[in-house]
Amino acid sequence: MTIILIGLAMGVLSGMALGGGTLLVPALVFFVGVEQHVAQGVSLAAFIPTAIVAVITHYRQNNVKLKLALFLMVGSALGAVVGANLAAGIEAEHLKRIFGGFLIVMGIYEFFGRARVKQKAKEKEKE
């Protein structure tokens, strides 16, 4: 039941493009007891159907720019090969710290960076 609830939360966050993996990896490590490398691999595999459904939904709402997405896909595929090989060579404890640091940096950016973007948008509206 825990895994189904974790999957449901991941699906909702992924559908909103908020990064379901940011929830799934720590949830698998802390609540299910899965090793960090396995949690990251499972997260990527579980993301495939979630991403397909989310992309179709966003595409139907005209929220996908295909040319931009195609360029990103090429770079992302190459980066994924490099990143997966790097992760395989890093000890699980170090990988946890790297992942945790990434989450902290992204959290700080989301908290403070979004406010700046909204402020700039408000300033443009006033002009």
Q: Which has more confidence, 35 or 124?
A: 35
In this predicted structure, what is the pLDDT of residue 89?
A: 92
Distances (CA, A) of 53 to 5, 12, 15, 46, 61: 18, 11, 8, 12, 13
Residue partners of 96: CB distance under 8 A and separation at least 6: 29, 36
In this predicted structure, what is the pLDDT of residue 53?
A: 87
- Tens-digit pLDDT profile for residues 46-68: 888 888 888 899 899 999 999 99
- Tens-digit pLDDT profile for residues 91-105: 989 988 998 898 888
pLDDT surpassing 90 at residue 75: yes
Token reading at 91: 């000890």
